[in-house]
């Protein structure tokens, strides 16, 4: 009997489609484990949902709305949009509606609250939904109409993507994080280098990457045009999920899961040794230096050592779904401790969730940030997409730990965004120009 | 389905932040979003175009955010079609789902200039440049996408499916 070898993405999609095997290019209908939207994308999806003849969401536990982009409401229009979502959640009796006080940045919040488990198939109306690949789930961003259809039916269609195998070798040097690895890769293959494909991260270097590094890496897979990013399950995944189950043992964690989410049923979420890939890319982590993406594309990267001129900045933002997790705040605080943000620089720190915020308070990190002269905010996506909470004026520059540096992304069309890790961000806030710690 | 319009050409990697900047994402109606289409890359774009005109672009059109506001804004300002060398995948799905016709044709993009007049047969995937008299044929949509288009978008397809099953 011929046994088809599959990579992890093909295995997850085959399961979701109820098929034994799938192959790249195949069109499949899949059952979804989770459907998510935020305060910007949900309103359009709700509008479309109402246009359909469907009255009820397919499962009130599996449709999750997170009010994080323009929330706490930045103006009257966004207050209206959030209210529209709130009313829909009430009408549909959605179990999980994350509003001010409970909400966090969606892609940090959902894994932390135990919604994501290996082997899940997830869509979210947000391009950075690909983040959950860090926990060996297939997850990808869609638009509002796709989301409306999924809210109604629990189903979507995919073209099975081919996968690019990214083999990580060696141990990263000090100050080299997940952010540097993904920025380096995007610089190497370009913003459409993985268009329609999956970036699968594997190799002996993976064991040096914390789960937060992996979230950051998968988060920015979209910045290379990828459909998703993914890691196979390993000990680091187990340990993270075990902790999540302990600290969030509420009904949230496993309300609809029949397989219980045990180590035994997660071990299958690995690629077969001779699975097929469209190409292989090797990265030696030991040779990697911290990276900075220059305006106006995430692929416009340079190693920090290659930057000879002093690039002056007006603002630093540490946060977002890319780099607003506890390990990011710890690194930034370790550099900002007993130091001051340079005169004339605004440094804004945004813990991605309430749990991260609390942890940062207990660990005295917030104390360090405020004493250094940083502003610390409640969770929000705000400045990353030029929403609010740190918009740039004409001619200003920001060094941000966020994910996009397109024209006008964080404010005026004539402002500039540089992307880097929390370590570079903290060191640059102290120096006033882009600098390594 | 035949379209005819004047071309406005853009470069590679036109992202959703320039198609419709985040500061307008509190708007929901197509005509309101349409007023700000492309304004960060060409602030007079919406003044210059007429209903039925065509956007042409290079690789990876619509990259970045998943905001469906982007194809809705393009439609809302009167653009009838986007022809690009390639599209970012979320934008591609969104455009089909909201009923904005899109075509991939690198050769047509390479030989067409802003201001050229095009005539397009969507069913056949034929792009005729009336200005320089060149004609190109692209791959037609696969069957399942044609189903969505024929139904008038994904939600209409859902209504149809739903009425059949109940």
Residues of B in contact with A81 (CB under 8 A): 26, 28
Residue A45: closest C-alpha in chain B: B68
Query: Which of B26, B58, B70, B71 should be substituted to probe chain A, the one whose Cβ sees the most A Cβ atoms within 10 Å?
Result: B26
Question: Of A53, A195, A409, which has the smallest distance from its Cβ to B17's Cβ?
Answer: A409
Answer whether A148's CB lies under 8 Å from A49's CB: yes
For A243-252, A295-304, A365-374, A402-411, which range has the lowest pLDDT when averaged over its residues?
A243-252
pTM: predicted TM-score of the whole model, two decimal places: 0.94
Asked if A400 and A425 touch (Cβ cutoff 8 Å), the reply is: yes
Interchain proximity B26–A77, CB inside 8 Å: yes
3-state secondary structure of A259: coil
Q: Give the pLDDT of residue A267.
A: 74
Residue B67 has pLDDT above 80, yes or no: yes
Does the beta-carbon distance from A44 to B153 stay under 8 Å? no
- Give a yes or no: residue B38 inside a domain: yes
Phi and psi dihedrals of B5, rounded to 5?
A: -170, 175
Helices assigned H by DSSP within B22-88: 30-34, 45-48, 69-76
pLDDT for position A252:
42
Instruction: List, in sequence order, every residue forming a beta bridge with B2; answer none if it has no partner.
Output: B121
Predicted confidence band of residue A70 (pLDDT cuts 50, 70, 90): very high
Any idea of the CA torsion for A421, A372, A306, A406, to the nearest 10 degrees? 50
Chain B nearest-CA distance from A225, in A, is 6
Picking from A25, A21, A3, the residue whose alpha carbon sits closest to that of residue A12 is: A21
In a domain, B55, yes or no: yes
pLDDT value at A88 more than 80: yes
Query: What pLDDT shows up at residue A265?
Result: 64
Residue B47 lies in a domain: yes
pLDDT at A242: 81
Query: What's the Cα-to-Cα distance from A285 to each of A227, A420, A423, rounded to whole Å?
Result: 24, 17, 17
* Omega cis (within 30) before B128: no
Percentage of chain A beyond pLDDT 90 is 90
Kind and range of the H or E run holding B5:
strand B2-9
What CATH number corresponds to the domain at position B81?
3.20.19.10
B13 touches chain A (CB under 8 A): yes
Task: For residue B130, tell me if it sits in a domain.
Answer: yes
**Domain contains B148:** no
Residue B154 belongs to a domain: no
Q: Which of residues 49-68 of B touch A (CB under 8 A)?
A: 59-60, 63-68
pLDDT in tens, B77-92: 999 999 999 999 999 9
Q: Which residues of B touch A408 (CB under 8 A)?
A: 17-18, 21, 40
Domain residues for B127?
Answer: 2-140
Predicted ipTM beyond 0.85: yes
pLDDT at B60: 96
Residues in chain A: 437
B161 is a domain residue: no
Q: Bridge partners of A318? A: A349
Looking at residue A2, its pLDDT comes to 57
CA distance B17 to chain A (A): 6
Whether A137 contacts A119, CB under 8 Å:
yes
Number of domains in chain B: 1
Domains in chain A (CATH in brackets) are: 27-160+234-252 (3.30.499.10), 161-232+269-288 (3.40.1060.10), 290-431 (3.30.499.10)
pLDDT level of residue B165 (50, 70, 90 thresholds)? low
Interchain CB distance below 8 Å, A40 and B25: yes
**pLDDT at residue A147 above 80?**
yes
pLDDT of B164 reads 65
Q: From chain A, pick out residues whose CB is under 8 angstroms from the CB of B41.
A: 407
Test A43 with B28 for CB contact under 8 angstroms: yes
B17 contacts A53? CB cut-off 8 A: no
Shortest Cα–Cα distance, A385 to chain B (Å): 6
Cα angle A276, A278, A282 (rounded to 5 degrees) comes to 95
With CB atoms and an 8 Å threshold, state whether B66 touches A385: no
pLDDT in tens, A153-165: 999 999 999 999 9
**φ, ψ dihedrals at A324, nearest 5°:** -120, 25
A255, pLDDT greater than 50: no
SS3 string, chain A, reads CCCCCCCHHHHHHHHHHCCCCCCCCCEEEEECCEEEEECCCHHHHHHHHHHCCCCCCCCCCCEEEECCCCCCCCCHHHHHHHHHHHHHHHHCCCCCEECCCCCCCHHHHHHHCCCCCCCCEEEEECHHHHHHHHHCCEEEECCHHHHHHHHHHCEEEEECCCEEEEEEECCCCCCCCHHHHHHHHHHHHCCCCCCCCEEEEECHHHHHCCHHHHHHHHHHHHHHCCCEEEECCCHHHHHHHHHHHHHCCCHHHHCCCCCCCCHHHHCCCCCCCCCCCCEEEEEEHHHCCCEEECCCCCCCEEEHHHCCCCCECCEEEECHHHHCCHHHHHHHHHHHCCCCCCCCCEEEECCCCHHHHHHHHHCCHHHHHHHHCCEECCCCCHHHHCCCCCCECCCCEEEECCCCCCCCCCECCCCEEEECCHHHHHHHHHHCECCCC
Nearest Cα residue in chain A from B143: A27
Residue B66 maps to a domain:
yes
Decide if B88 touches A, using CB distance below 8 A: yes
Does the CB of B93 have a partner CB in chain A at under 8 Å?
yes
């Amino acid at each position: 009997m011929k046994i088809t070898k599959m990579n992890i993405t093909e295995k997850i999609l085959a399961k979701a489609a109820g098929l034994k095997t799938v192959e790249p290019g195949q069109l499949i209908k899949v059952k979804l484990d989770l459907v998510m939207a935020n305060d910007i994308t949900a309103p359009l999806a709700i509008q479309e949902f109402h246009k359909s003849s469907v009255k009820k969401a397919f499962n009130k536990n599996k449709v999750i709305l997170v009010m994080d982009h323009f929330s706490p409401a930045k103006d009257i229009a966004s207050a209206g949009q959030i209210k529209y979502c709130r009313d829909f959640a009430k009408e549909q009796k959605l179990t999980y509606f994350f509003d001010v006080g409970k909400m966090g940045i969606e892609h940090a919040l959902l894994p932390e609250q135990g919604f994501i488990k290996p082997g899940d198939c997830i869509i979210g109306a947000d391009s950075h939904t690909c983040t959950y690949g860090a926990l060996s789930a297939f997850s990808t961003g869609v638009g509002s109409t796709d989301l409306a259809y999924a809210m109604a039916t629990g189903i979507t269609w995919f073209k099975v993507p081919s996968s690019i195998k990214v083999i990580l070798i060696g141990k990263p040097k000090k100050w080299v994080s997940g952010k540097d690895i993904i920025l380096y890769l995007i610089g190497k293959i370009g913003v459409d280098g993985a268009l329609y494909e999956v970036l699968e991260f594997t190799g002996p270097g993976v064991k040096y990457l914390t789960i937060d590094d992996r979230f950051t890496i998968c988060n920015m897979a979209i910045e290379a045009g990828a459909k998703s990013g993914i890691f196979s399950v390993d000990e680091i995944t187990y340990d993270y999920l075990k902790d999540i189950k302990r600290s969030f043992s509420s009904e949230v964690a496993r309300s609809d899961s029949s397989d219980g989410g045990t180590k035994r049923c997660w071990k299958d979420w690995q690629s077969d040794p001779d699975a097929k890939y469209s190409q292989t890319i090797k990265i030696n982590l030991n040779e990697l230096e911290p990276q900075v993406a220059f305006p106006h594309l995430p692929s416009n990267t340079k190693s920090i050592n290659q930057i000879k001129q002093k690039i002056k900045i007006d603002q630093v933002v540490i946060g977002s779904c890319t780099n607003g997790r506890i390990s990011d705040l710890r690194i930034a605080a370790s550099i900002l401790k007993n130091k001051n943000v340079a005169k004339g620089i605004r440094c804004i720190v945004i813990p991605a969730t309430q749990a991260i915020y609390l942890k940062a308070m207990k660990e005295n990190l917030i104390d360090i940030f405020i004493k250094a002269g940083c502003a610390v905010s409640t969770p929000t996506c705000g400045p990353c997409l030029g929403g609010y909470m740190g918009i740039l004026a004409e001619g200003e520059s920001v060094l941000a730990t966020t994910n996009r540096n397109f024209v006008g992304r964080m404010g005026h069309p004539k402002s500039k965004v540089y992307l880097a890790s929390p370590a570079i961000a903290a060191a640059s806030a102290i120096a006033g120009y882009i600098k390594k710690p | 389905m035949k379209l005819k319009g004047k071309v406005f050409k853009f470069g590679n990697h036109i992202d959703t932040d320039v198609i419709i900047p985040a500061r307008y994402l509190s708007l929901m109606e197509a005509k309101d979003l349409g007023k700000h289409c492309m304004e960060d890359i060409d602030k007079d774009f919406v003044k210059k175009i007429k209903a039925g005109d065509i956007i042409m672009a290079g690789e990876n059109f619509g990259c970045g955010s998943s905001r469906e506001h982007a194809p809705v804004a393009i439609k809302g300002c009167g653009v009838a079609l986007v022809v690009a060398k390639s599209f970012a995948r979320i934008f591609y799905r969104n455009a089909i789902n909201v009923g904005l016709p899109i075509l991939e044709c690198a050769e047509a993009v390479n030989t067409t200039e802003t201001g050229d007049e095009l005539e397009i047969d969507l069913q056949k995937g034929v792009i005729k440049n009336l200005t320089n008299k060149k004609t190109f044929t692209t791959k037609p949509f696969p069957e399942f996408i044609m189903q969505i288009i024929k139904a008038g978008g994904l939600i209409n397809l859902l209504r149809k499916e739903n009425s059949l099953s109940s």
